[in-house]
Structure 1
Amino acid sequence: MNPRQLLVPLALLSLAIAGEQLFADAPLSVAADFEGGSVAEVEIDPAAGSIRFMPGGDPARGWPCWWYFRIDGIQPGQTITLQLRGSTATVGKQKPLGASWAMPKRATYSTDGKTWRQTDPGQRDGPIMTYELTPDTSSVYVAWGPPYTPKTAEKLATRLSEASPHVEAMQLCRSREDRAVPMLHFREGTRTAEQRFGVWIQARQHAWESGSSWVAEGFADWLAGDDRQAAWLRQHADVYLVPIMDIDNTATGNGGKNAIPRDHNRDWSAKPHWNEILAAQQKVGELIDQNRMDLFIDLHNPGPGDPTFFFVPPRELLKPQAVEAADQFMELAYQRISRIEPSIPMNNKPRVTGSNYHPLWRQISKNWVSLNGNPHTVSVCLETAWNSPASTQAGYKAVGENLAIATQQFLAKQPEKP
């Protein structure tokens, strides 16, 4: 058998993915037996140091574009070649998802599972995208983008709540698969609820969109810090932040987008399917009832052909009083984010979607909030570019920090609560 066509026997691959060490000097193997892990159809050529694969995930639980696994048995200094194909998985009569959704220009890798770096740009040849990396360790994690798992969200909540008396680690709810959904509440001082602005930040309604969670973490880190503007925001607002909404699919390595019966961002209905949506509706509804649902931000990732960050406001649903305010907020955020160094690609032209976007367009979160919110409620989506050299942990968190500063600047211009 030509070693370049070597296919790992199914039994051997299963043991490798289960994390079993077959023998002391084991050849290259792949493992995905950890939170968020996802890979399928693995073929390994030990002699060439190449791994051919496609994204894993159950297509009934969302687009199969997310991949994240560990490679073991590497000779330090050995060049590893990743050969990625788009998933062929389908549901019913659907066509397979376009391969480009699974193919970032640069793959992400880590030797410790914490700090993530980008590979050089991959090379696409027809249906195959090839990435190369040369780790100096015997194991390396590789992923579609920097992973952000439920454990990462839990660590964020614990770290900030233990470090600051102004941060409360909460639980939005428990998911349908009985996982905790971490939420942070930022509040300082003696102002009553009625005297405070209401701010809701949420990320990851689609599990594969990991960059949005890093943006949320950057927002949270800044807001918990010592900056005078951060203190002002804590003193004048109740800020709620959910780093991961689709917790179950994030934990199990599924895509989440277009999940059956509907994904989280199409579930903002009178009878939500997902526990997270029902709980978020209730919390946001309380702010609406108190006439202080001032700013709602939903963090997402866009398509593979979108190289910039950009806002999506529900223009035709915003109440007249909120239209100008939304423009003011988006401009403040654009001015902050577009000046980050090194450069973050940011588009100052919001992209408007309306009734022709999706049959369930009224059940999209930002639209539901606009329809049900207060006359002054500003509700927007920020799309998080993932095909840029700045699509890194540091880049995403810098966007989150500057989004938080823009939030403070925007609210400081609004009339104070009585």
Structure 2
Amino acid sequence: MKITSNFDSGNIEIIKADDPADIQLAIRKDNQSDFYQWFHFRLNSPHPQLHKITINNASGSAYPDGWQDYQAVASYDRQTWFRVETEYDGKVLTISHYPEAESVYFAYFAPYSYERHQDLLHQAQNDYNCQLIDLGETLDGRDMSLLVIGEPDDSKKKIWITARQHPGESMAEWFIEGLLDRLLDEDDGVARSLLAKAVFYIVPNMNPDGSVRGNLRTNAAGANLNREWQNPSLATSPEVYLVRQKMLETGLDMFLDIHGDENLPYNFVAGSEGVPSYNDHMRQLEQDFKAALLTVTPEFQVKYGYDKDAPGQANLTVATNWVAEQFKCLAYTVEMPFKDNADLPDAAFGWSDIRSMKLGQDSLTAILQVVDKLR
């Protein structure tokens, strides 16, 4: 029997792995950080029996409440990720699975590999309407890549979308893949209408170093990028620094920052109500966007979400708040679950990569409903 995480986005530490009925593991902390929750490892076992895998340090993770009602995902082909029996007793997380093949992968959520990220970028640039721009490098020397979709024109709205500031939130890049599939479809009426009115600036992965390293929340320097937007630096948060500079150069009329939430089993958005410049126009745009998305898909809801900041009390180091205050625009954080959507549960797959992609596609219809009102 063998357990390994020596691959892209792999994360696990082996404590004991000589008995299929009693495998003891731990999740490795993010580099230079105490955050941890993301795991991704492979089990090779010749034993045709139930395997019990215990993650011993689950209670000390970044979001221990996130383990309640959570089911890990597994895959035999790294394409289809299904949910497996998982229990949390307040201290340890136990995954129980009877492998149907010698090798099986387990993960916190369906991984989005760096190789697939490169494919996404270069398949997109093949479209006549898309340009791939290199903004600079991360601390580990990886590219910070921006996709510009549409013909730039001052009369068009500028819509920025960023994803995966927190690398373990892989559903965010699946969301972007779905959105791009639709936005680059020349036969899609919503896409054609949007690109006649707007230019999209999309960063599919804000944190490629953390993604490859198997981090939950931080970059190679241990920085939480979504707390770096007020004063980013090339020394600790070049990802934010480079994207922020480009935003200031191009201007911005609407912003979506795509994330995943460990605790809440719902899709929801978080706005910028607490920024000093919040006004009636921004409030109306938020309401219109939410109303449109509610109409488009039952996967979205507005009953559950984060508490709103009091007026003037927003944390301006957070991307959505900094952007809203800097550009006086509609800015939303989009959150998806690691668990399942409790409004539309799926016992076999839970909230998944495929459903994340479809929500990305549906979001374009909601954007179309507000694009004419952005200025």
What is the TM-score with the length of structure 1 in the denominator? 0.79
Give the deviation of 1:86 after TM superposition: 2.7
The residue type equivalent to 1:301 in the other structure is G
**CA separation in 1, counterparts of 2:63 and 2:312?**
19
Listed as ranges, the matches of 1:255-404 within 5 Å are: 255-257=216-218, 262-272=223-233, 273-288=236-251, 293-304=252-263, 306-317=264-275, 318-338=278-298, 344=299, 346-348=301-303, 351-354=306-309, 361-374=315-328, 377-388=329-340, 389=346, 390-404=350-364
Q: Aligned pair in 2 of structure 1 residues 216, 267: CA closer, same or farther (>3 Å)? A: same
The farther-off stretch of 97-106 and 107-116 is: 97-106
Aligned length: 362
> Residue 238 of structure 1 corresponds to which residue in structure 2?
199
The farther-off stretch of 328-337 and 364-373 is: 328-337
Q: Is the 8 A contact 1:63 1:259 kept in 2?
A: no
What's the secondary structure of 1:362's corresponding residue?
A: coil
Listed as ranges, the matches of 1:83-94 within 5 Å are: 83-87=54-58
Is structure 2 residue 189 aligned with structure 1 residue 228?
Answer: yes
2:72 to 104, 107, 120: 107
Q: Aligned pair in 2 of structure 1 residues 213, 96: CA closer, same or farther (>3 Å)? A: closer
Give the deviation of 1:97 after TM superposition: 3.9
Deviations 1:380-403 (A, max 9, x none): 111111111441111111111111
> Residue 80 of structure 1 corresponds to which residue in structure 2?
51
The residue type equivalent to 1:52 in the other structure is Q
Q: Is the 8 A contact 1:299 1:382 kept in 2?
A: yes
Give the deviation of 1:168 after TM superposition: 2.4
Is structure 2 residue 160 aligned with structure 1 residue 200?
Answer: yes
What's the secondary structure of 1:181's corresponding residue?
A: strand
Give the deviation of 1:353 after TM superposition: 3.7
> Residue 128 of structure 1 corresponds to which residue in structure 2?
92
**CA separation in 1, counterparts of 2:311 and 2:11?**
33
**CA separation in 1, counterparts of 2:57 and 2:268?**
26
Q: Is the 8 A contact 2:20 2:52 kept in 1?
A: no
Give the deviation of 1:62 after TM superposition: 5.3
> Residue 166 of structure 1 corresponds to which residue in structure 2?
129
Q: Aligned pair in 2 of structure 1 residues 56, 136: CA closer, same or farther (>3 Å)? A: same
**CA separation in 2, counterparts of 1:254 and 1:319?**
37
What percentage of aligned pairs have identical amino acids?
22
**CA separation in 2, counterparts of 1:103 and 1:150?**
29
Is structure 2 residue 13 aligned with structure 1 residue 40?
Answer: yes
The residue type equivalent to 2:32 in the other structure is A
The farther-off stretch of 192-201 and 251-260 is: 251-260
Q: Aligned pair in 2 of structure 1 residues 169, 41: CA closer, same or farther (>3 Å)? A: same
The residue type equivalent to 2:191 in the other structure is A
Q: Is the 8 A contact 2:207 2:219 kept in 1?
A: no
The residue type equivalent to 1:127 in the other structure is K
Deviations 1:322-354 (A, max 9, x none): 22112111221232232xxxxx36335664443
Q: Aligned pair in 2 of structure 1 residues 381, 45: CA closer, same or farther (>3 Å)? A: same
Q: Aligned pair in 2 of structure 1 residues 102, 167: CA closer, same or farther (>3 Å)? A: farther
**CA separation in 2, counterparts of 1:356 and 1:250?**
35
The residue type equivalent to 1:138 in the other structure is E
The residue type equivalent to 2:301 in the other structure is M
Give the deviation of 1:29 after TM superposition: 0.5
Q: Is the 8 A contact 2:38 2:108 kept in 1?
A: yes
What's the secondary structure of 2:261's corresponding residue?
A: coil
Q: Aligned pair in 2 of structure 1 residues 176, 395: CA closer, same or farther (>3 Å)? A: same
The residue type equivalent to 1:354 in the other structure is D
Higher relative contact order (CA 8 A, sep 6+): 2
**CA separation in 2, counterparts of 1:135 and 1:405?**
41
* Structure 2: runs of 5+ lacking an equivalent: 341-345
* Structure 1: runs of 5+ lacking an equivalent: 1-27, 89-94, 339-343
The residue type equivalent to 2:213 in the other structure is T
> Residue 12 of structure 1 corresponds to which residue in structure 2?
none
Deviations 1:181-228 (A, max 9, x none): 33322115xxx5212111111111112212222112211111112311
**CA separation in 2, counterparts of 1:199 and 1:140?**
40
